[in-house]
Structure 1
Amino acid sequence: MSEIMNRQSGLVISAHSADFVWRAGGAIALHVEQHYNMHIVCLSYGERGESAKLWRKGSMTENTVKEIRQQEAQKAAEILGASIEFFDLGDYPLPRDKEVLFRLADVCRRIQPHFILTHSMHDPYNYDHPLAFNLAMEARIIAQAEGYRPGEKVVEAPPVYCFEPHQPEQCNWKPDVLLDISDIWEKKYQAIQCMQGQEHLWEYYTRVALQRGVQAKRNIGITSNKTISYAEGFQSVYPRVTENLA
């Protein structure tokens, strides 16, 4: 138990229950293999705006859609090797209030993440995504405050990375980190296939991973012996502090 508690950890804050799979499934599985404790928070199930295929089946209720979405996300998280929890806040719109912020700050305190992955700060196609970004950022700040629940261990300064939105050019999102996920791609694709309610995105995000893989290979030099087939892109929020620029 002490070995598990002493591991480094990562926190993924996902607006809807499938977002973490498309956009950060590779990062999750990769860090699990590197012995990180990876934890996912799904703010909503995406039962209204992210579940069109389920609603088209007819005779569907919101609770049934939620149940299906939770089962899909739990199965995907198990494949990736991460723990997961569901806030069930509702979507379209995703609510934002003080209680939600404190609840998320408490997760930050509990997990003590060494990095946080969440949505881009802009998305004109889905306002739940920037809302999730703002919740993640403010909860992180609250969790750092000595005056919030005095006596608890505060969160340090974990870097925050925004994962790739569906249409990055429209979201002012520009990757400055390309993460090689070639070795765990099959695991990510297994998790992708759990998302039966959004099957139309399976091949789209395969193409995204292949394209980012080409870019990652180009950025380490085409003469490098390292093979990169699949990658995920991230945009960092804060500057990195480093001792050299190599």
Structure 2
Amino acid sequence: MSERKTALVVSAHSADFVWRCGGAIALHQKKGYDVTIVCLSYGERGESAKLWKEPGATLEGVKSARRKEAEAAASALNAHDIQFFDLGDYPLEMDRDAKYRLVDVIRKVQPEFMLSHSKDDPYNTDHPYATKMAIECRMIAQAWGHNPGEKVLGAPQLYLFEPHQSEMCGWKPDTILDITDVWDEKRAAIECMQGQQHLWDYYTNVAQNRANQFRRNSGGQAGGRPARYAESFQSIFPRTVDTL
């Protein structure tokens, strides 16, 4: 049996991967990939308002609730693995040890591709920071002089998933993925995020709108695939191809 392909998601907070690339996770798992998710923080301070409004809320209690939600969502998506770095949020910060920890994951996973946030987000600076760290750690993982003797990383594409307000984030999609076949899994994962219920229908609408763009760009009225739900991404690095 051939070795399974892999992919890696670097999520700033423990819910981000659900809204923005849950379909990609579920679809690639279904296609035989092992998808690993790294949550750099739980989003316990800045993205857990509903949980903080509950009587007797504590930092550790909020973090625990966020972890349980993310684990349930990852299970709904059939993700291969989910890891929590617990680095804190608002602001999210990574020291050298945390960077090397992510490098270790990247080298272990050896992803065919990586997924992370837009490179700009004036509403949430944790998001572009996570991508900056993903790019930096990707670079370190490619360095032959970093922990010599380990298998170095090749050149996986880094796809930026859709930010909450894309028009404010300098984000321009060039890849649209049909996730119709795994929409039920993504919606189930979305509904695991009880602390951010206000986003459930928002990201359902995003998926439907992106499916309209998928239909338009796959042939439109001349015979485009009838996708009902899609996710879109922006690639960072050039693609190497033999045909267009």
TM-score normalised by the shorter chain: which range applies?
Answer: over 0.9
Contact 1:96 1:131 in 2 (8 A): no
What secondary structure is seen at the aligned counterpart in 2 of 1:200? helix
Counterpart for residue 191 of structure 1:
189
Counterpart for residue 13 of structure 2:
16
What CA deviation, in whole Å up to 9, does each residue of 1:67-103 have, x standing for no partner? 0000000011011111100000000000122111111
Q: What is the rounded CA distance, in whole Å, between the counterparts of 1:25 and 1:33 in structure 2?
A: 12
Q: What is the rounded CA distance, in whole Å, between the counterparts of 2:209 and 2:224 in structure 1?
A: 19
Q: CA deviation at 1:58?
A: 2.3
Aligned residues: 242
The one-letter amino acid of 2:230's match is: A
Q: What is the rounded CA distance, in whole Å, between the counterparts of 2:158 and 2:184 in structure 1?
A: 26
Map 1:59-98 onto structure 2 (within 5 A): 59-82=56-79, 83-98=81-96
Q: Which runs of 4+ in 1 moved over 3 A?
A: none
Counterpart for residue 227 of structure 1:
226
Q: What is the rounded CA distance, in whole Å, between the counterparts of 1:221 and 1:40 in structure 2?
A: 33
What 5-or-longer segments of structure 1 have no aligned partner? none
What secondary structure is seen at the aligned counterpart in 1 of 2:202? helix
Task: Decide which of 96, 103, 128 is 1:130's aligned counterpart.
Answer: 128
The one-letter amino acid of 2:66's match is: R
State the TM-score, normalized to the length of structure 1. Answer: 0.97
What secondary structure is seen at the aligned counterpart in 1 of 2:56? coil
Q: How high is the sequence identity, in percent, across the aligned residues?
A: 57
What 5-or-longer segments of structure 2 have no aligned partner? none
Counterpart for residue 32 of structure 2:
35
Map 1:144-183 onto structure 2 (within 5 A): 144-183=142-181
The one-letter amino acid of 2:226's match is: T
What secondary structure is seen at the aligned counterpart in 2 of 1:40? strand
Q: CA deviation at 1:226?
A: 2.4
Contact 2:217 2:224 in 1 (8 A): no
State the TM-score, normalized to the length of structure 2. Answer: 0.98
